[in-house]
Structure 1
Amino acid sequence: MTAAPLPPASFREIIRLSLPTVGVALLQGGAQTVEIALAGRIGTGAQAAYALVLPLLLLLQMMSTGAMGGGVASSIARAFGAGRAEEARALAWHAVLIGTGMGLAFTVLVLAFGPALFRLVGREGAPVDLAYSYAVWIFAAAVLPWLANTLAAVLRGTGDMATPARILALTWVADAGMSAVLMLGIGPFGGFGLPGAGMAYALAFLGACVAMARVVWRGKLGLSSGGLPPLEPALFRRILSVGIVASVMALMANVTTLLVTGLVAAHGTAALAAYGIGVRLEFLMVPLAFGIGAALVTLVGRRVGAGAWAAARTTAWRGGLLAGGIALAIGGGCAAFAPVVAAAFTADAAVRELAVLYLQIVGPAFGVFGAGMALYFAAQGAGRMSGPFAAALARIGLAAGGGAVLGAGFGLPGVFAAIALGLLAYGAVVGASVRAGVWRERVA
């Protein structure tokens, strides 16, 4: 029997379900902002090393939380929307296996090829050794954030946003506090410099992984009862059909950042350090959009599972408008007060001047980008990923390809302008795909 169609989610319901994850997103952005501010106290070399590692760290977080995690949450939400609770339980176990394998893959790839990648992106004179010593601590333990974020996605797929939010909030608070101690030292403790931030990250997610596993094992899915379900290729495909596409998109986003980082690095260490400060604005938009997007994955997924496609589209656009408004306020504010924002992160006059340039050029584009990011998560819930994938292609073409062309003609301002154009294109293309002709029931 087909489940009864559901009405569109109201703005109030989207906000209510979004608030826990938005709160975590703000803490995450705050914790990582603390890290780069602490790196600034150590020196420009530490800031430049942080900028080299940051794309890989964000790739890990984006893939485990918003990409493959979106595939996990959307598959479970659609199963519940169609009234198939036992299938949802089986999907959770399949998700754990996927998360474990992905975490181990990150460990092997980054530890083996990290130095070569940092040297390629950073070019001559970049602090490659310092970047690698920081990355080792993060990626040797990559399976921990992968499992913690996978289990958080399982809970979100059931509609429980509050529990994973509480655990991850404590995780990011602990990460910021331990980073301060381990990087700068308090008394006899710490003083490890930038690698201390990697140590703090690994320890914080060890705690998150244990706490999340305990909740899921004993929670509403009842995973501890009845033994392990048999492994079914169809259930792996259910998760991976969304998760792989989304993960490739996350990889493309970070390849874009790596390519742009290479373009910026050609202008010197001060430009690279300034980009590391300015790009935090973009990386802040991603978790903020995910705060609303995580709710949209579940809300849209349940409506799609119940066959309510029109309600799913309306729900998606309401969430997109909310995310776009928040992103515009933050990006526009940083552009308007760019000197104040830049001064908060560095005392180096050259770095500060270039960070101001980035914020003033790129900041105004974040309203459209934020809306597009929220609609991307809604597309995960619907299982309709062609539009977001096209948007990712448009972004990498404009930001990286356009950055090379405009950078050659206009220098660093041209590179920054290309970044802004890429963000605008991304939001526009994703938005154009959320329509009846694409979001509809497929006829076998």
Structure 2
Amino acid sequence: MPKTNHLLEGNIASTLTRQTLPMTLGLISLMLFHIVDSYFVGQLGVKELAALSFSFPITFTFISLSIGLGIGVSTYVAQTIGRGCDKKQNVHQSALILNLVIISLASAIGFVFSRPIFSLLGADNDMIELIMDYISFWYLAAPFYAFIMTMNSLQRAAGKTKFPAAIMAISSILNVLLDPLFIFGFGPIAAYGLQGAAIASLIAWVISCGIGMIYIQRHEHWFTEVPTLKQVQQHSKQILKIGIPAAAANMLTPITSSILIAIISGYGEAEVAAFGVGTRIESLAILMILALSMTLPPFISQNFGAKQLGRVQQAIALTRKFSVVWQFLIYLTLIAFSEGIAQIFSDSTEVHDLIQLVIYILPLGHGAMGIVILSASSLNALSQPNKALLVSIIRLLIITIPFAAIGGYLNGFQGLLVGITIGYFITAVIAAGLVNQVLKQVKARTSEG
């Protein structure tokens, strides 16, 4: 008896819930790793922490590229699964080869041009040497990170989220355990300082890669076949068609954050500190939506490939309602604990009050932000990556920054926060409208066909 594909046949609400919960746990483990990594490096001194901060634009670029390629992989593969032809085309192997080659080449290029890049970012010669101690090993680790991301994307495309969540958790736990050993030294292991953080990541990702490959080979036998060059080229073209715009959309986020910080810095250090805390709170507050944005696209792509547009429309409508209701509940929870949260992050009365102000305003728009994030994911899943990129451009550059600037001009820091929040709602309407338009066009083409 053929195995049932729950993405194509199962109850929509229960299927998405079952898919999203493991990814939420995986994302929590990743966030824990980044917090702990920064904590241990911070123990070395201000220079080491500054060097880690200088490396962020490079590492985030690689992460954005990996995520973007992963979106392309999961969308294309999920659609081929929906059409029932993925195993005949060696698509999994082609995707792994493509991502490994791209990230390896990017790492080599990054290593060659790192010194001039960090010089342009304002690092002096001593700082550049310290940064290079870290980033050189990080470049070696990047292809392994990309390989893990690709394996995870391929599994999510098939509706399997327990494996990606487990690998994310394993790599994060290994990083947390290895960080103090290689940063500060232990027994026969020398103290490598900042370089030790990158070495820990390299070892953690190599081990995670090995575990993932063994598991997949035992259960799905991906590594017994080698795709032809023609197959790799064919699949790569389709993956990059979605992956490149998705990567570009991801890279807009740090650009926008930098511009907002530059605007807020005009109000004072307390406002910058409060806004920084707000962004950390935001990443946790929308965690479930971020996990859903990783599990919704495979569902949509498979059903889109199988021409089950009714299930696609139901899933999109359901997740929109969930975003509004869930984020409003999170908003009420944040308000209830706002004073305690503010005290955790700062002893300063001024900063404390400003953090509470941020909590009272920004999270009110998180339900709308969730609709925007899910709309971009849906457009990628419907093979409309340029429209998904357009949503990100509208959200971050056309609406968020101007509305923040206008709000700040009218009423200072509070006005800036209100402007950003209003921008969330406006962008949600635009993003939802774009998705609805695409669904109508797809439905019309299907009817004509």
Once the two structures are aligned, what percentage of the paired residues are identical?
18
Structure 1 residues 269-311: Cα deviation after superposition (integer angstroms, max 9, x where no partner)? 6655544432223434665334222322221111111111122
Instruction: Name the amino acid aligned to 1:241.
Output: K
Shift of 1:90: 2.3
Structure 1 residues 136-174: Cα deviation after superposition (integer angstroms, max 9, x where no partner)? 554553222112101111122122221122111111222
Are residue 158 (structure 1) and residue 154 (structure 2) matched? no
Instruction: Name the amino acid aligned to 1:18.
Output: T
Instruction: Name the amino acid aligned to 2:227.
Output: L
User: How far apart, CA to CA, are the structure 1 residues paired with 2:170 and 2:163?
Assistant: 11
Structure 2 residue aligned with 1:115? 118
Instruction: Name the amino acid aligned to 1:437.
Output: K
Counterpart mapping for 1:413-428 below 5 A: 413-428=414-429
Q: 1:289 to 1:209 in 2, by over 3 A?
A: farther
Residues 182 and 199 in structure 1, CA contact (< 8 A), matched pair in contact too:
yes
SS in 2 for 1:437: helix
Shift of 1:80: 1.2
Structure 2 residue aligned with 1:244? 244
Structure 1 residue aligned with 2:224? 225
Counterpart mapping for 1:185-224 below 5 A: 197-220=197-220, 222-224=221-223
Counterpart mapping for 1:262-273 below 5 A: 262-265=262-265, 271-273=271-273
Are residue 28 (structure 1) and residue 30 (structure 2) matched? yes
Shift of 1:206: 2.6
Structure 1 residue aligned with 2:289? 289
Instruction: Name the amino acid aligned to 1:17.
Output: Q
Instruction: Name the amino acid aligned to 1:19.
Output: L
Structure 2 residue aligned with 1:74? 75
Shift of 1:94: 2.5
Q: Which has the larger radius of gyration?
A: 2
Structure 2 residue aligned with 1:315? 315
Instruction: Name the amino acid aligned to 2:229.
Output: P
Instruction: Name the amino acid aligned to 2:333.
Output: G
Shift of 1:331: 4.8
Residues 78 and 305 in structure 2, CA contact (< 8 A), matched pair in contact too:
yes
Q: 1:359 to 1:181 in 2, by over 3 A?
A: farther
User: How far apart, CA to CA, are the structure 1 residues paired with 2:343 and 2:144?
Assistant: 35
Structure 1 residue aligned with 2:280? 280
Are residue 434 (structure 1) and residue 435 (structure 2) matched? yes
List runs of 5+ in structure 2 lacking aligned partners. Answer: none
Once structures 1 and 2 are overlaid, which stretch shifts more, 411-420 or 299-308? 411-420
Q: 1:7 to 1:152 in 2, by over 3 A?
A: closer
User: How far apart, CA to CA, are the structure 2 residues paired with 1:44 and 1:332?
Assistant: 37
Residues 300 and 382 in structure 2, CA contact (< 8 A), matched pair in contact too:
yes
Structure 2 residue aligned with 1:175? 175
Shift of 1:14: 0.9
User: How far apart, CA to CA, are the structure 1 residues paired with 2:62 and 2:331?
Assistant: 24
List runs of 5+ in structure 1 lacking aligned partners. Answer: none
Instruction: Name the amino acid aligned to 2:278.
Output: G
Higher helix share: 2
Are residue 235 (structure 1) and residue 235 (structure 2) matched? yes
User: How far apart, CA to CA, are the structure 2 residues paired with 1:99 and 1:61?
Assistant: 12
Instruction: Name the amino acid aligned to 1:297.
Output: P
Shift of 1:24: 0.5
Structure 1 residue aligned with 2:363? 363
Calculate the TM-score normalised by the size of structure 2. 0.80
Once structures 1 and 2 are overlaid, which stretch shifts more, 388-397 or 325-334? 325-334
Residues 190 and 196 in structure 1, CA contact (< 8 A), matched pair in contact too:
no
User: How far apart, CA to CA, are the structure 1 residues paired with 2:406 and 2:25?
Assistant: 39
Structure 1 residues 156-212: Cα deviation after superposition (integer angstroms, max 9, x where no partner)? 212222112211111122233444666677899787776655444343323222322
User: How far apart, CA to CA, are the structure 2 residues paired with 1:353 and 1:45?
Assistant: 30
Residues 119 and 128 in structure 1, CA contact (< 8 A), matched pair in contact too:
no
Residues 376 and 391 in structure 2, CA contact (< 8 A), matched pair in contact too:
no
